[in-house]
Structure 1
């Protein structure tokens, strides 16, 4: 984060790329598994014997499976699917590139218009950016339609839908992170930290006090861990946000791509970062109709606060109540495909999707 906004955006892009790869690869896993299961069912139907011949059936099953015309046909279908994987991967990455070209282009044009619209080579691309993006998408759409195979229509349309849902959940939501970075690092850093804090706090409280199961899908998740994680996240969020809101590098929108934590960053802070005071003592006195001497001994006369702390409170509430269900959703997704992890990007810890499911 100290290296600057550009490096953080590159990091987000790399995470998007790896997560997209893991999620799209999962489609192939699910389809191959369903095809094999279908072949096994056909094998069982074609070689059904009475109970007294079960032992003989087990001895002949391997030979019969190789000789069965129906099973051979199903296996050939699975092999034919493998030949189309190359085009399917190409289509996945093409739409990935188109989505990123459109979204990153929109952000660059909006935040760096003072640079883009003075370069004669970039002006045509900036002016017609959305039209170019549409043409690129239509080119991919035409390529998809022209490669439709009557024998694999269900699988091809399933993959087409899978790709678009992956782009929505990963690339589009990831682009919100990029825009937050460009608006000010604090809008990315604080929410990301809150999700991590909630995950850690829920684990600790669940280990110490967990007794009641929260959701059937994840037996290890407990009500005590969920509640403890929520309150710890709220407290942490207000304190954590208050700690960074006085640093210009964190709160200033990006103006130059070379900004780092060691640069002299100046800007007019957004009003949400300005400290204000509330006359608590006076309000209590008016409400109770008593003199200031008694109230002043019991409570502070004034209280300093900033609107950004309210933002932190809302973000922490969301991170504590909603973000965990992103993890539950991912767990259900993996169970549906009977896989332990989304990938093996991180040795011993699964894929990046397993680590950033709640963030997305």
Structure 2
């Protein structure tokens, strides 16, 4: 068996869990995961759509809100759970010197292409959830990256989500560093509490690239490797950027680096290892957020080793081989970004419709 505690203590990677439901706050499930070594939590509209539509956990709360607008009902339910999770994880946040113990909640995904609306939405969420271990998720669209810069400058911690390309990842790191600099220039004094992760999505990349490789009749050795190769090169960019003179000067004033977070880590192709995106991406100053099944699979048969620094040159070569076949990885990433935003928008709309029907039945 593998240990989540060992993953952090020996390899410097923080295991987070990609799920939340209200029962976890009441029956001790989340607290138990923390005892097992989970060091943070992520959520998204799809997760809340599943949680709210399943069982009766929210019935009483819904009854209290039956005269409210449906959008207000959604945020009341979601932020109640987020605040509760922040409270459970707060001791870890304090013990880790504000490095872990975070809970992520996403702004309305329908704002993904509206910079100013995203900034205002982030401010409203921060005002309502008065916990320092809150991370506000902002999609890494072009407009979202601009919002990240301004939100960080306001002293708000962020989880930049739906990153699929190396170029966009570099833009995200730059936006964070700019935001930290702006925060300090504005007189921000609580720099040690300002945090960020950059959520680099992996499994969806292999699904898309494998389909394109199949179309061009590529060698089977090229399949199922694009996502891990991209993540390994992203980590190399992280090491370079956060050891630069610009960052070193900010770190000397107490700034925290923006850690890479490996997201979408459940394997979509049953022909591949169920831990492909965990065992292959272990390294210091990173986060891996796993759904429950993947988390438990790692505990059962994970292979703890410092794998993230292995095969970096091979990763370069692999992506070059894919590009040589006429597959534009930046175009693939842009398509995945569009699909990711659309999926979260759809989940958000569906949960609003579900809530509307539930309220009509009250």
TM-score over 0.5 (shorter chain): no
Provide the TM-score with structure 1 as the length reference: 0.18
The structure with the greater share of residues assigned to strand is 2
- Of structures 1 and 2, the larger Rg is shown by 1
User: Could you tell me the TM-score, scaled by structure 2's length?
Assistant: 0.18
* Larger helix share, 1 or 2: 1
